[in-house]
Chain A
Amino acid sequence: MTLSDIQLDGRGNLKHFLTIEGLSRELLTEILDQTEGFLGVAEQAVKKVPLCRGKIVANLFFETSTRTRTTFELAAKRLSADVLNLNIDTSATAKGETLLDTLRNLEAMHVDMFVVRHAVSGAAHFIAEHANPHISIINAGDGRHSHPTQGMLDMFTIRRHKGDFTDLCVAVVGDILHSRVARSQLLALNTLGAGEVRVIAPRTLIPTHMETLGVRVFHDLREGVRDADVIVMLRLQRERMRGAMLPSEHEYFQLFGLTEERLSTAKPDAIVMHPGPINRGVEMASQVADGRRSVILEQVSNGIAVRMAVMSMCIGTQNLHAQEETRG
């Protein structure tokens, strides 16, 4: 079984959204196209469409998050769904409840969709495998593995600014090793046919066999961003200092922090992205974060529209199956 088998139904409709891996360029493009449609909802006087009315979406966050959870919540509400927010962190598991027990309890509440974030790679996939088949799972980040809605909102932001992917040079800078965002971005970029994908980091933050993900590896920021159209900065987690991955934030910023000066080797119209939250003065200088090339806040707004697109597509697949069951 491939990773993707479980997220599509027999006809290739999106049932769960767990990873970019195995999804076709057509499907990714459809997600981007649908997102265009949802972008306008935020500008309406009544910021709601009735696509998921009567559905219950549970935000199942085993790992804390503000931004992702909030945008998922807003996305679900704009689709007229009812939303449950559950911050489970370690309390339930500390009492000995297994992930499967937690899942069964929530299923009993007739939830239609789980939005899952978990610290362990493969968690969303595991839940999709074991949940009631009528429930859709959206992966909101599992360990180091995947964060597909973030990946797609980044693709959407790039497409809005650059149009076609074919001739683009995209550089992803920072902690690739631990980043589920990077993995999703790299897969999406390659599926969408980006001209060149680069990763830039010291060797301690680049996993082995990186080239198998279809990227060129750089260890020098200036070299890596040369002639790039898009520069994606990743968040550097503080705990990486403790694991002997890096000597200090100071040295990291000295070598891999994005400044106006270093940005000058990129294309003149290059855009700068960051999944947030930013460590100013660690990953990038404030001038860059707030500068004219930064599209960081736009990413956040786009995030809501992308999540609406994905959620409505999955609920749409559910509805289709339900109709067929009643007819059949």
Chain B
Amino acid sequence: MKRGTKISICNGRLVDPANGIDAECDLHIADGRIAAVGSAPAGFRADRTLDARGLVVCPGLVDLCARLREPGFEHKATIAGETAAAAAAGITTLCCPPDTQPVIDTPAVAQLVAQTAERHGQARVVPAGALTQGLGGEQISEMAALKHAGCPVMSHADRPIKNTLVQRRAMEYATTYGLTVFLRPEDKHLRDGGCVHEGRVATRLGLPGIPEAAETVALARDLALAEQTGAGIHFRCLSTGRATRMLAEAIQRGIRASADVSAHQLFLTEDDIGAFDSNCHVIPPLRTSEDRTALRAALARGDLAAVCSDHRPHEQDAKLAPFPATAPGISALETLLPLVLRLVAEQVLDLATAIARITVGPARILQLPVGQLDPGRVADVCVFDPDACWTPSASTLVSAGLNTPFLGQELKGQVAWTLLAGRVVFQRETT
């Protein structure tokens, strides 16, 4: 289909939280952009009409953290494969952390990632630049060049910066160029090689624990530095209730902080580890049901502005070892939307808020003009059936990673069409 194709999406329920729209409303697309919402512009003749009766039409999903494994870990997954999975999941923009190999600390690697994605044309990939060279935590990276090469944010992936002075300088330097800093708060010493939440399950199974303080101590440090430097800071994948309360208080004081949570943290707890289920080996670890309740509340309030997939596809062998020796992470692109919809079913969020947390919420954190559908915007659109049930399995998942604890569990909510810049990049085969 050519870029100039005109498409109308008709009879669907349009949910566009950024513009306050939740109504049965048609959407018209021309030249890769939204041409009109509601009635078609005069003289508009669609080349193709998608009948979205009974379906929800919303902005294409924006995912703040998805590892595509390329370059460096192609035995786990590739950009081509994972962006295809993203398209099948309704995700049109995804931010990949810089812990590839080589690390995304030079314009060349950043461009390699973005251009490889562009060539395959399934989803827009924006690389997060490495905050320090090689993610070594010592020498800050060439952030201005990285920004110029298309990195909208700087990140330190999963590697805590031990030297607080380096952290401060990195934040200050990033702020010079208007770059938000992405950090996952973790105190390396307090983590001490832990692999599960330090709580009942760790005690029972004799697994090394990660205390709540591993998150809150680092969060407190980084908030203090953000306050000192005036830097914009975004915390990835909060896992504890106490961290959400600290964050809320900091936001109230005017610190430029935001945060997200991974979808699985809103459902799973330490108890799901059961009998050493390595698919529940994630970092940060699954916490308690009290933490889960607090995370849900913070998401509803908006202190957590986004839900991310924290997608980490693995080859089968990575999970075939005794629990602590397995690689952490969940293959999560394709469960993002169904899990967020489950929050609606469980009355944690209304549909518009739920969609906001996976569209305009993360888009604003990335400072990208996506995640909304007003005329003139790039036409990234997700059309999904909120009532369709499906079960993640080797045959239904597109991602190379089958490492998900939701494997074999029925989920509700399935993407019918995904449009990237006005092009249909995914359509479900009707059987």
Contacts and interface: CB of A to CB of B under 8 A. Distances in A.
Contact of B320 (A98, A144, A213): A98
Contact of A145 (B198, B207, B321): B207
B206 A118 contact: no
A142 B206 CA distance: 9
A120 B204 contact: no
Among A6, A21, A122, A144, chain B packs the most CB atoms within 10 A around the CB of: A122
Contacts of A145: 205-207
A297 interface: no
B203 A1 contact: no
Interface in A127-177: 130, 142-146
Given A98-B317, A146-B206, A212 B200 contact: yes
Contacts of A6: 275
Contacts of A123: 322
Contact of A213 (B198, B204, B275, B323): B204
A122 B322 contact: yes
Nearest to A3: B275
Contacts of A98: 317, 320-321
Given A145-B206, A207-B202, A208-B203, A2 B274 contact: yes
Contact of A180 (B198, B203, B206, B211): B206
B204 A21 contact: yes
A5 interface: yes
Contact of A122 (B199, B200, B276): B276
Contact of B206 (A99, A126, A143, A212): A143
Contacts of A3: 205, 274-276
Contacts of B388: none
A59 B207 CA distance: 24
A125 B207 CA distance: 13
A122 B317 contact: no
B394 interface: no
B322 A118 contact: yes
A122 B204 contact: no
Contacts of A208: 198-200, 202-203, 209, 211
Contacts of B200: 208-209, 212
A121 B205 contact: yes
A144 B322 contact: no
B204 A121 contact: no
A117 interface: no
A183 to B, nearest CB: 6
A118 B323 CA distance: 12
Contacts, number: 84
Interface in B323-361: 323-325
A121 B321 contact: no
A210 interface: yes
Interface in B266-282: 274-276
Contacts of B325: 99, 120
Nearest to A210: B203
A176 to B, nearest CB: 9
A100 interface: yes
A298 to B, nearest CB: 27
A130 B276 contact: no
Contacts of B202: 207-208
B275 A121 contact: no
A208 B321 CA distance: 26
Nearest to B211: A208
B207 A122 contact: yes
A88 to B, nearest CB: 14
B322 A120 contact: yes
Interface in A1-25: 1-3, 5-6, 21
Interface in B242-284: 274-276
Given A6-B275, A145-B205, A146-B206, A120 B320 contact: no
Interface string B308-321: 00000000010011
B324 A143 contact: yes
Contacts of B323: 120-122, 126
Interface in A174-188: 180, 183
A99 B205 contact: no
Contact of A207 (B209, B275, B322, B324): B209
A131 to B, nearest CB: 13
A201 B114 CA distance: 55
Interface in B18-53: none
Given A3-B275, A120-B325, A209-B199, A130 B320 contact: yes
A6 B323 CA distance: 16
A209 B203 contact: yes
Contacts of B206: 121, 142-146, 180, 183
Contacts of B207: 121-122, 143-145
A201 B208 CA distance: 18
A213 B274 CA distance: 16
A99 B209 contact: no
Contacts of B320: 98, 100, 130
15 contacts: A1-B275, A3-B274, A5-B275, A98-B321, A99-B321, A120-B322, A120-B325, A122-B323, A143-B322, A143-B324, A144-B206, A145-B207, A183-B206, A208-B211, A213-B203
Q: Which 10 A-B pairs have the closest CB atoms?
A: A144-B206, A145-B206, A122-B276, A123-B322, A122-B323, A207-B203, A120-B322, A122-B322, A209-B200, A126-B322
Interface of B: 198-200, 202-209, 211, 274-276, 317, 320-325
Interface of A: 1-3, 5-6, 21, 98-100, 118, 120-123, 125-126, 130, 142-146, 180, 183, 207-210, 212-213
Given A122-B205, A209-B199, 18 more contacts: A3-B276, A98-B320, A99-B322, A100-B317, A118-B322, A120-B322, A120-B323, A121-B207, A121-B208, A121-B276, A122-B324, A125-B275, A130-B320, A143-B324, A145-B207, A146-B206, A207-B203, A212-B200
